Chains A and B, each alone.
Chain A
Amino acid sequence: MQMKTNQRRMLPASIALNVFCVVISLICIVPVLWMYVSSIRGNASFMLNPIAFPKEFVIQNYVAASRISSIFMAMGNSTLYVIFSLVLVNIGAFITSYFFSRYEFKGKNFIFSVYLAGMLIPLYALMVPVFVQYKILGLLNNRLALVITYFAMQMPLAIFLYRSFIDGVPRELDDAATIDGCSIVQRLSRIIFPLCRPIIGTISILTAISVWNEFAFSVILTPKTNLRTVAVAVRFFSSDIKVDYTLQFAGLCMVTLPILLLYIAFSKEIMKGMISGAVKG
């Protein structure tokens, strides 16, 4: 009986809390929903009534959007950058953290502090010198410049995460491998790396999202049309003559779709990854 009284007393509070939570969640997704709903409407009806259910299904917007600013090419570019960055960051961080974790050697602390400093320095403040550096080397409008920059942006965090993970892998495995006659390379690739699957997943997700959404450096390092990334291409959807908002929305929706699909499929992993990434910082 006591339980029931308690629950009854809590009822108004319970309702209030639930309503509040629903409101918050709605606020978080309404702009995104608005974007998707509006993208399949015609611009004329949008201007008359921006918030309404679409009465028509205008695929025109998507067709036109896919022609403007070569959005598919930009998606292809972004995917390339994601893949290159993933590979570089995972392998580089794994190797470096393995040795950090298992060995003591001269200069270890120095190298580690440099990586640590990398995390504290806002790389975006260094946009100008990074640009100048690649300009002097003639590496502007070259995919390499962007990939190296993304690599550097993700390394410190990746090293932290890998290192603490590898710290938790029992040393007996290393010893067993050496006794069995494995070389260092074999030890790394055959035994330790496969164990790191969770971390590989986390780092890959963090890197992929960062690189796909990255804007500032792709604007200044690779302004050439055929090297453009998705985050930059999306800005080129305003047409001078017809101020067409639904067209813009269509473009934004196309660009967001891959990430949203990934989120729906992998939400648990993504959430975990973003949290641990931030906490390490």
Chain B
Amino acid sequence: MFEYFGGWMIPTPKIIKEPTMRSFESKEVKTIYKFILPWFILFCFALVIPIFTCLGISFTSWRGGPKINFNGIDNYVRLVQDAEFWNAFGNNLELMAYLIVGQIGFAFVFALMYNSKLVRFKELHRRLIFLPCLLAPAVVGMVWQLVYRIDIGIFAILFRSLNLENWIIPWLDSPKLVMPAISIVLIWQYVGQYCLIIMAGMQNINKSVLEAAEIDGTTAIQRAFYIVFPLLKSTIFVLLMLVISGCMKLFDIFFIMTNGGPGNSSMVAVLYSYNLAFHSNKLGYGSTSAIGVVLLSFLLIIIMKQFTKRIADEN
């Protein structure tokens, strides 16, 4: 794990520091809680209580009006059989695959390049690729919608001027291409951030190892895959967790660019819940699907943790 201390990123060993003051006296404990509790209560109110509310409503067929009918587990049974929900989840998984390769993969390649001695203007490049991740999703979504247009979009104009007219595809209108298209937007937006994280990790690799390998006559590519990559394992695991947990949360871009279309091809889990609750007014079933999303997120994270633990143990 890396820690931020006084402006530098340093790896810290996991030593538990000895606290100088032990608080067993109830008076001191009370004081501590006086400080901490208000914030904790506020936090629980904002985050924890909704989970329980969600759970409660998920067992009803509430539609927002004065009538609330308790439904038992009917909603959950319906959720398990709901083809639309699993289609949405499938889209999330597809997205995850694209983003792991795109965001982490590209980021790794870029990081290697920026570390190379041959590249000039490193600082400028880094600043430029980092820029997109500061933009609001609404802005990114609206601009890229226009970029993808077949009449006035950047791609269309480019292909037309190169006389490649038949390369112009309606990206956002084709059920098969819409997910890759949106993945490209997300990769474009965040590859800078991931690249910088990997670079920070690379700084901790002992330079002498790399120099020794260079003297031994290895190529840059060999060094990258056999030395750098394995040493970055912990960073990459962190990034994997980021991508996976981030994937399940995605909502804004999809809402703005396609609203799940065409048809249901770019529907993702959270957008599905949102539509159920706000479009169709099905607050009860919408809550059920939200719980489903949370459970599936946990499941993915647990699977990921097991997977990484196994790889870490192998070493």
In the complex, whether B218 has a CB less than 8 A from a CB of chain A is: no
In the complex, whether A1 has a CB less than 8 A from a CB of chain B is: no
Determine the residue in chain A with the shortest Cβ distance to B8: A272
Q: With A and B bound together, what is the CA distance between A105 and B2 in angstroms?
A: 26
**Which of chain A's residues have a CB closer than 8 A to the CB of B22?**
103-104
**Which of chain A's residues have a CB closer than 8 A to the CB of B130?**
267, 271, 274
In the complex, whether B163 has a CB less than 8 A from a CB of chain A is: no
In the complex, whether A28 has a CB less than 8 A from a CB of chain B is: yes
Q: Which of A47, A106, A165, A235 contacts B5 (CB 8 A)?
A: A165
In the complex, whether A53 has a CB less than 8 A from a CB of chain B is: no
Q: Which of A31, A114, A165, A167 has the most CB of B within 10 A?
A: A31
Determine the residue in chain B with the shortest Cβ distance to A163: B3
Contact: B138 with A31, CB < 8 Å? no
Contact: B128 with A99, CB < 8 Å? no
Contact: A96 with B139, CB < 8 Å? no
Contact: B251 with A124, CB < 8 Å? yes
A126, chain B: closest CB distance, angstroms: 5
Contact: B294 with A213, CB < 8 Å? no
Fill in one digit per residue for A150-190: 1 if any B CB lies within 8 Å of its CB, else 0: 01100100000100110110010011000000001000000
Contact: B43 with A152, CB < 8 Å? yes
Q: A92-B39, A99-B32, A103-B19 are in contact. Are A21 and B114 (CB under 8 A)?
A: yes
Q: Give the secondary structure class of A's interface.
A: helix
Q: With A and B bound together, what is the CA distance between A22 and B9 in angstroms?
A: 28
Contact: A21 with B125, CB < 8 Å? yes
From 34 to 65 in chain B, residues with beta carbon under 8 angstroms from any chain A beta carbon are 35-36, 39-40, 42-51, 53-54, 57
A43, chain B: closest CB distance, angstroms: 10
Contact: A164 with B47, CB < 8 Å? no
Interface with A: B94-102, B147-155, B306-314, which one? B147-155
Contact: B127 with A267, CB < 8 Å? yes
A62, chain B: closest CB distance, angstroms: 16
In the complex, whether A265 has a CB less than 8 A from a CB of chain B is: no
Contact: A125 with B36, CB < 8 Å? no
In the complex, whether B110 has a CB less than 8 A from a CB of chain A is: yes
Q: Which of B135, B138, B245, B274 has the most CB of A within 10 A?
A: B138
In the complex, whether B181 has a CB less than 8 A from a CB of chain A is: no
**Which of chain B's residues have a CB closer than 8 A to the CB of A96?**
35-36, 39-40
Determine the residue in chain B with the shortest Cβ distance to A137: B45
Determine the residue in chain B with the shortest Cβ distance to A234: B138
Contact: A121 with B297, CB < 8 Å? yes
In the complex, whether B270 has a CB less than 8 A from a CB of chain A is: yes
- Taking Cβ atoms with an 8 Å cutoff, the residues of B that contact A are 1-7, 9, 12, 17, 19-23, 28-29, 31-32, 35-36, 39-40, 42-51, 53-54, 57, 110, 113-114, 116, 118-121, 124-139, 142-144, 146-147, 152-154, 157, 188, 192-193, 196-197, 200, 235, 238, 241-242, 245, 248-252, 255-256, 269-270, 273-274, 277-278, 283, 286-287, 290, 293-294, 297-298, 301
Given contacts A256-B139, A276-B9, 4 further A-B contacts (CB under 8 A): A31-B144, A129-B50, A131-B277, A279-B9
* Sample of 7 A–B contacts (CB below 8 Å): A92-B39, A124-B270, A128-B283, A184-B35, A234-B138, A235-B138, A272-B4
